[in-house]
Structure 1
Amino acid sequence: MRALLVVNPKATTTSGRTRDVLIHALRSDLKLEVAETQYRGHAGDLARRAAEDGWVDLVVALGGDGTVNEVVNGLLAHGPSERVPRLAVVPGGSTNVFARALGLPNDPVEATGALLDALEQRRERAIGLGKAFTEGEPDRWFTFTAGLGFDAGVVGRVEEQRRSGRKSTHALYVNQALRHYVTEREHRRRGPITLEINGLEPVPGLVLSIVSNTSPWTYLGSRPVLPSPRASFETHLDIFGITRMTAFGTARTVRQILRSHTPADGQAEAPGPTGKHVVSYHDVRHFTLVSQEPAPFQVDGDHLGDRSRVSFTGVRRALRVIV
């Protein structure tokens, strides 16, 4: 099988020696070409050219969720089709939500072993993805999450810290979330975002809006964070929002999204967080988030600036993944 390995040399959890071992292992089973990313967006450019040229059957992303997102957007630059190469992931970031949601080991060496076994057994899975649309901006596919408002603001703060030399850690995210909570006092009481779903009454006043393509949304260390526990790669998109972030209510919601969600007696599916200010929708194909003022926007943990209107759609069986 002909394959392209897209390597992020700045991946958080892989050293040069580890990458050399992984490349050697992959070359034992694949006709492998290796390309290291050199700038933001380079992984997408490499994947797009590979898909357009038609010379590879498989693109392997070695890096974190940002690298994976770029590769996915490159592969699907012209939309889903049977001609699009398959995707495989070797986790190399600090959190690796997408890889872990697929059931892959979080260790890159173990994940490489699982990948080689999957290739030998010809195991693959067609997964659904989300797509975000903003007028005047490029469309953006996402693998596990997108967000407009408070959560995207936290992502933006973390990226600022990383640009100043701070290492991406779970402690950094928690610290910046607390700082953002303190500084966003006015928006915590009533948010500027309205959720619009065809056929339903608009839901105004959202402070936070998290769009999930799978569950969990992210991880806090080894603990999954579950705002939309029913989201999956087999359904369309889930939406979780909060219309007011009081200290007590926010603490209650945080406890809910950190707990394990299992179906209660007589229930077919696990419930999600509940509360007076909680908004939740499951398996929605199309919807739009509209903000009264430009609000922070993120996809797969990548801050994309401020947006006033973003539409979303879920696309089932958009991409084939080796698992």
Structure 2
Amino acid sequence: MRALLVVNPKATTTSGRTRDVLIHALRSDLKLEVAQTEYRGHARDLAREAAEDGAVDLVVALGGDGTVNETVNGLLSHGPGEKVPRLAVVPGGSTNVFARALGLPNDPVEATGALLNALESRRERPIGLGKAMTEGLPDRWFTFTAGLGFDAGVVGRVEEQRRAGRKSTHALYVTQALRHFITQREQRRSGPVSLELAGSEPAPGMVLAIVSNTSPWTFLGNRPVYPSPLASFDADLDVFGITRMTAFGTARTVRQILRSHGPSTDGTPPPGPSGKHVVSYHDVRHFTLVSQEPVPFQVDGDHLGSRSRVSFTGVRRALRVIV
């Protein structure tokens, strides 16, 4: 099998020595070409070239969720199809939500071993993805989440800190979330975001809207976070929103999304967050988020600036993944 390994040399949790070990291991089973990313968007360009070339069977992304997202967008530059190379992931970032949601080990060496076992056993699965569409801008595929409003603002703050030289850690996200909460008082009282869904009345006044393609939404260390516990790679998209963020109400919601959502003994679905300021939809194919003013927007933890209108669609069986 001919494969392309896309390596982010700035990945948070992998050293040069670790990368060399992983490359050696993969080359034992694959006809492997290695390409290192050199700029933002380079993983997308490399994956698009591999898909258009037609000679690559598999693209392996070694890096964090941002590298994976770019790789997926490159593979699907011309849309899903049987000729699109398969995707494999070796986690190398600080959180690695997509890889962990697939059930892969969070350690890159262990994940490489799991990948080689999957290749030997010919194990793969088709997964659904989300697609975000803004008029006048390229469509953006996402693997696990997109967000408009408060949560995307936090992502933007973290990216500013990283550009200033700070290392991406869970503590950094928590700190920036608290600072954003304090500074966004007016917007927390009356959110500008509305959900438009065919056949339903608009849901207005959201401070944040989180679109999930799988569950959990993210991790705090090893602690999964579940705003939409029923979200799945095998379904369409879930939406979670909050229309007012008071200190007490937000603390209550945070406790709810941090609670365990393991399989129930009686087969009932796990409960999601609840409350009069909570908006929740499950397994929705098409919808649009509209804001009264431009607000921060993110996909898979990548801040994309501000948006006032974004449409979303769930695409089932969009990509084949080696697991």
Which residue does the alignment assign to 2:40?
Answer: 40
Paired position in structure 2 for 1:315: 315
| Corresponding residue number in structure 1 for 2:305 | 305
Structure 1 CA distance for aligned equivalents of residues 238 and 184 of structure 2: 25
| Partner Cα distance (1:266, 1:207) in 2 | 35
CA shift for structure 1 position 268 = 2.8
The residue aligned with 1:79 is 79
**What residue in structure 2 maps to residue 128 of structure 1?**
128
Aligned to 1:177: 177
Change (3 A) 1:263 1:64: closer
Shift of 1:263: 6.3
Give the corresponding residue for 1:31.
31
Q: CA RMSD in A?
A: 0.9
Q: What are the equivalent positions in structure 2 for 1:197-276 lying under 5 Å apart?
A: 197-262=197-262, 268-276=268-276
Contact 1:131–1:312 (Cα < 8 Å) also in 2: yes
Partner of 2:294: 294
Spell out, residue by residue over 1:25-56, the C-alpha distance to the aligned partner (whole angstroms, 9 max, x if none): 00000000000000000000000000001110
Q: 2:149: which partner in 1? A: 149
Q: Is the alpha carbon distance of 1:63 and 1:199 closer, same or farther for their aligned partners in structure 2, counting shifts above 3 Å?
A: same
Task: Describe how 1:51-70 pairs up with structure 2 within 5 A.
Answer: 51-70=51-70
Query: What are the residue-to-residue correspondences of 1:88-127 with 2, within 5 Å?
Result: 88-127=88-127
Q: CA deviation at 1:234?
A: 0.3
Tell me the CA shift for residue 267 of structure 1.
Answer: 5.7
8 A contact 1:263–1:271 mirrored in 2: no
Letter in 1 for 2:307: R
User: Cα–Cα, structure 1 residues 265 and 91, in superposed 2: closer, same or farther, change >3 Å?
Assistant: closer
Q: Which runs of 4+ in 1 moved over 6 A?
A: none
Q: Which runs of 5+ in 2 are unaligned?
A: none
1:182-201 paired onto structure 2 within 5 Å: 182-201=182-201
Do the aligned partners of residues 263 and 61 (structure 1) sit closer, same or farther apart at CA in structure 2, a change above 3 Å counting? closer
Structure 1, 12-21 or 262-271: larger mean CA deviation: 262-271
Query: For the residues of structure 1 that align with 2:69 and 2:262, how far apart are their CA atoms?
Result: 29
Structure 1 residues not aligned, in runs of 5+: none
Secondary structure at the aligned position of 1:105 is classed as coil
CA-CA distance at 1:320 after TM superposition:
0.1
| Counterpart-to-counterpart distance in 1, 2:120 and 2:314 | 31
8 Å Cα contact 1:196-1:287 kept in structure 2: yes
How many residues are paired up? Answer: 323
Deviation at 1:261? 2.2
Q: TM-score, normalised by structure 1?
A: 0.99
The verdict on how the C-alpha distance between 1:187 and 1:55 changes in structure 2, with shifts beyond 3 A counting, is same
Name the aligned partner's letter for residue 67 of structure 2.
T
Contact 1:13 1:93 in 2 (8 A): yes
Q: Does 1:165 align with 2:180?
A: no
Counterpart Cα distance in 2 of 1:263 and 1:107: 25
Could you say what secondary structure the match of 2:252 adopts?
Answer: helix
Contact 1:262 1:269 in 2 (8 A): no
Once residues 279 and 204 of structure 1 are traced to their aligned partners in structure 2, the CA distance between those partners, rounded to angstroms, is 10
Asked whether the equivalents of residues 153 and 296 of structure 1 are also in contact (C-alpha less than 8 Å), the reply is yes
How far, CA to CA, are the matches of 2:183 and 2:314 in structure 1? 33
In the TM superposition, what is the alpha-carbon distance from 1:128 to its structure 2 partner? 0.2
Q: How many angstroms apart in 1 are the aligned matches of 2:262 and 2:4?
A: 39
Asked if the contact 1:128–1:317 (Cα under 8 Å) also holds between the matched residues in 2, the reply is: yes
Give distance in 2, aligned partners of 1:85 and 1:123: 15
Q: State the secondary structure of the residue aligned to 2:56.
A: coil
Q: 1: CA distance between counterparts of 2:264 and 2:128?
A: 27
- Structure 2 distance, partners of 1:199, 1:146, is 23
> Identity percentage over the alignment?
85
Per the alignment, residue 278 of structure 2 pairs with: 278
Tell me how far 1:150 sits from its aligned partner: 0.1
How many Å apart are 1:265 and its aligned residue? 7.0
